[in-house]
Amino acid sequence: MADDSDADSVIVNVTGDDNKSALFGKYELGKLLGMGAFAKVYEAVDVRTGEGVAIKVVNKKRLKEGLTAHVKREISVMRRLRHPHIVRLFEVLATKTKIYFVMELAKGGELFSRVSTNRFTENLSRKYFFQLVSAVRYCHARGVFHRDLKPENLLLDENRDLKVSDFGLSAMREQIQSDGMLHTLCGTPAYVAPELLLKKGYDGAKADIWSCGVVLFLLNAGYLPFSDPNIMGLYRKIQKARYKVPDWTSSDLHRLLRRLLEPDPDRRITVDEILKDPWFKKGIDPGEIVRTLTDDHDLEEQAKNLNAFDLISSSSSANLSGLFKNFVTPDHLEQFVSDETPGEIMGKVESVAKQMSLRIVKKTERGMKLEGPMGVVNVVVKLQRLTEELVMVEINNKQREGLVWADALRQKLRRLVNQPVYRLPAKP
């Protein structure tokens, strides 16, 4: 691997059979899975658990200013996401010359490798489209827009379930400009939405839906809806939505594709409308659709002790200066640490919610979603264990800032829940 001989590198002979060294004493690196302009991805094993992971190695020397921004954004985005159909980022490690993304290993490889050899049946296309839509809806609810959805960025795990990956071109709600639009032209030409080509601003969610439509067309047909050897010819076809659906396509799927590949973003189908579509719902367990609608995967994460990256990345002011220069990404959340048990804390949350006439929309052992007086779901309270004695309480305003009742909820919980850990005073 180029540049691995740097003096501060902790990777030794990573591609050889006699590799005996472990990355940071934690990960044994194995075969190369893929490579790009500034990063390589390796299969690895967590020496503590024996579980497989994927590690993306980014060489800082190859990062120009624009690419540095992409890496920062990818870390910031992936730390927000906990969904069964999104590749999980476990932690980020760094030396002076390299950054290491330790991620979930998708053992099934790229979806592209399967669809490039043969088209899928409608039932199999529906399975993967359902999983893709579930992940995309979750991202959009958290203010994340992928902007490069394509089969090469859709991986498969050992159970052949889909995992969305590569958030390097994604955008966050904070990047939306005063006109309510995103303005950066990005993505892969064959999958890009027509409104991006107009360079007048676009809705990130609607652009992702178009790309989902292109993916669904490819799964069913075995070829892309828009292709042309000339890039301008390709863009003209995209702008006019000129494509031909294969003869074997059912009428219901044809109708859904037409709504997905609608060139006018204001008339394009939305995610919630997709969930009600007849072709989409056929053969799908209604409970799975309800689960997608409730959007509570982050409440149902299995309890575990957090590592250092979890603590940094879940902070409301995550400073990644150990990786780059100062980089702060605000989230609308508040956190504190308690030595009470999760049961005791959740009991106090429920008691305060009843005092304030808040409706409990969903409750688990370590999480609760609350609905305010105006009937809008706004706040999630979630617990994560730090050690055997300590629990981190996270109060996350999911949709809007400045809610009086949300602020009151935070204040009441801070007073009621015991906090034995000293916290540095806020900066003036």
Q: CA separation (Å) from 91 to 44, 75, 109, 252, 286?
A: 14, 9, 21, 43, 35
Q: What is the DSSP string of 34-76?
A: EE-SSEEEEEEEETTT--EEEEEEEEGGG--HHHHHHHHHHHH
Of 275, 253, 240, which Cα lies nearest the Cα of 119?
253
Annotated catalytic residue 148: yes
The amino acid sitting at 104 is E
DSSP lists the bridge partners of residue 423 as none
Six-digit token string for 365: 């052992």
Distance CA 153, CA 149 (A): 6
Task: Strands of 95-198 (E only): list them.
Answer: 98-104, 109-110, 144-145, 154-156, 162-164, 171-172
Which tokens in the block code for residue 373?
Answer: 């007086």
Question: Residue 162: which residues within 8 A CB-CB, separation 6 or more?
Answer: 85, 111, 128, 131, 132, 135, 154, 155, 156
Active-site annotation holder among 3, 8, 148, 247? 148
Q: Which candidate, 337, 353, 352, places its Cα nearest to that of 416? A: 352
Q: What angle do CA 250, 131, 281 make, to 5 degrees?
A: 45
H helix runs in 283-424, sequence order: 286-294, 308-313, 342-355, 404-416
Annotated catalytic sites, by residue? 148
